Structure 1
Amino acid sequence: MTKPAAFLFDMDGLLLDTERLFLQSFLKLTAQIGIPNTVAEPFFMTLVGTSSKTTSIRLAELLPQSVEPRAFETKWRDMHAQNVSKGAPLKPYVKNVLDSLADQKARMAVVTSTYGEPARHHLQHAGIFEYFEQVKAGDEVSANKPDPAPYREAAEALGVDPKDCVAFEDSDLGTQAAVAAGCLTFQIPDLRPAGKALPDLGQKVRPNLRAALKDLGLIAETTV
């Protein structure tokens, strides 16, 4: 295939193993108000890949009337921020893949539903911020995933056509956004509801980023 014009990466659950930290905080707080893990965890899985705004709206569906959703969410996000401040682990092969692409002078951007300030902080703390020319965050785009706008606007910021880009996603909603934008899309599943089949959107499904780059012929077995 022709060399891609750019590589567009989701962040949470794809580059950084933050979704599990977010889940841990959620389960701890919901248990404190009497919601069992058997209810809270499946509910959390439905939030993966959604925007912060959607998460705020959906919380009211789960929480008892005695719990104010905004106060709960603030406490949840504060707890998560404290956990992440200790360091968000990189997902498998991330550093090697980014190094390999950087060696090939590939252009890279992050496309995330997380808001800009914490997103950039997480990337810097993980030591990978400098790989990316652009970070398109959830509060910096005209619409959130699954709308294709984040991927279109990330490509536009790089001065390239999204149809000439490769996108990497973990969630179904993010994959939907990248495919709709016209990107060649690899889905690398992370957290998802048990038994839920992956959507057939025309994406390629691979177990990790290394496998995706090998599929593109852009990384050798000996490099990782």
Structure 2
Amino acid sequence: MALLKKPAAYLFDMDGLLLDTERMFLEAFLTLTDDLGIATEEAKAFFGGLVGTSSKVTTARLHDFLPHQTDVMDFDQRWRLLHQDNVGHGVPTKPYARDVLQAIREAEVPMAVVTSTHGPDAQHHLEKAGILPFFETVCTGNEVTANKPDPEPYLEGARRLGVDPTQCVAFEDSDFGTTAAVRAGCLTVQIPDLRPPNTPLPELGQIVAKDLLHGAVQIGLFEDALT
């Protein structure tokens, strides 16, 4: 896959990629599953398989994971409310997120967020973290008919910016998100965050990096701005 020195746009996942919110979501999950007597390692392994999925998929999988007597809808609601309470105290960004976003802004290349999180929550989290103004648009999970790994979210993000998705660079952390971006035709950089144990990365032709700065430098996009 050819490298793009100055792509038409940059498309970013949000949770676990720009924002360190996956760990916050996990902490809330562990609090509630501990109350149900579920072992921490078991809960962590299950959560790892949820990363990158939509809220609909997450709720469906909870039915199979939680003890049979559990009111799944009540659990799901309490989980999300606890997470929102935690987010209210602050939303941390991932390492180098601001540096990379600032470099792209200075290069005058448009940016979009492409996330499975629903609109109001996504806007709130990005604003709370102080990075919402970097983006021309935020494409959220409730604004598309199919969620990741379907390519529609990335196709929609590119469409909103008026660019060809094959001329875009996408940054992702999850396997589902990486699959979606690659299927949309984007040059894709995967920066793994929380993952199920002993699970190899998918081989999709993506570039794998340890963090956002490493990913940006590795594909030669910002060698002047970031060195």
Give the SS at the match of 1:185.
Answer: strand
Which residues of 2 match residues 98-109 of structure 1 at below 5 A? 98-109=101-112
Q: Does 1:192 align with 2:195?
A: yes
The offset of 1:220, in angstroms, is 3.7
Which residues of 2 match residues 145-224 of structure 1 at below 5 A? 145-220=148-223, 223=226
Partners of 2:30 and 2:10 lie apart in 1 by 34
1:178–1:185 contact (8 Å) kept in structure 2: yes
Give the SS at the match of 2:217.
Answer: helix
2:190–2:208 contact (8 Å) kept in structure 1: yes
1:185–1:204 contact (8 Å) kept in structure 2: yes
Partners of 2:223 and 2:171 lie apart in 1 by 19
Partners of 2:159 and 2:221 lie apart in 1 by 24
Partners of 1:198 and 1:192 lie apart in 2 by 9
Q: Does 1:41 align with 2:44?
A: yes
Q: 2:85 aligns with which of 82, 98, 108?
A: 82
Q: Does 1:51 align with 2:57?
A: no
Q: 1:115 aligns with which of 98, 103, 118?
A: 118
- 2:141 aligned residue: 138
Opposite residue 114 of structure 2, the aligned amino acid is V
Partners of 2:218 and 2:224 lie apart in 1 by 11
1:210–1:219 contact (8 Å) kept in structure 2: no
The offset of 1:64, in angstroms, is 1.2
Which residues of 2 match residues 15-34 of structure 1 at below 5 A? 15-34=18-37
The offset of 1:36, in angstroms, is 1.1
Partners of 2:97 and 2:5 lie apart in 1 by 23
Give the SS at the match of 1:16.
Answer: coil
User: Scaled by the length of structure 2, what TM-score is found?
Assistant: 0.96
Runs of 5+ in structure 1 lacking a partner? none
The offset of 1:12, in angstroms, is 0.2
Identity of aligned residues (%): 55
Opposite residue 158 of structure 1, the aligned amino acid is L
1:152–1:181 contact (8 Å) kept in structure 2: yes
Q: 2:13 aligns with which of 10, 31, 40?
A: 10
Partners of 2:179 and 2:79 lie apart in 1 by 27
* Count of aligned residue pairs for this structure pair: 224
Give the SS at the match of 2:42.
Answer: helix
- 2:65 aligned residue: 62
Partners of 2:218 and 2:33 lie apart in 1 by 41
The offset of 1:160, in angstroms, is 0.6
- 2:128 aligned residue: 125
Partners of 1:97 and 1:63 lie apart in 2 by 39
The offset of 1:165, in angstroms, is 0.3
More displaced 10-residue stretch of structure 1: 211-220 or 13-22: 211-220
User: Scaled by the length of structure 1, what TM-score is found?
Assistant: 0.97
Opposite residue 60 of structure 1, the aligned amino acid is H
Partners of 2:218 and 2:139 lie apart in 1 by 26
Q: 1:18 to 1:147 in 2, by over 3 A?
A: same
Q: String of CA shifts for 1:49-104, please: whole Å, max 9, x gaps.
A: 00000001000011112111000000000000000111111000000110111011
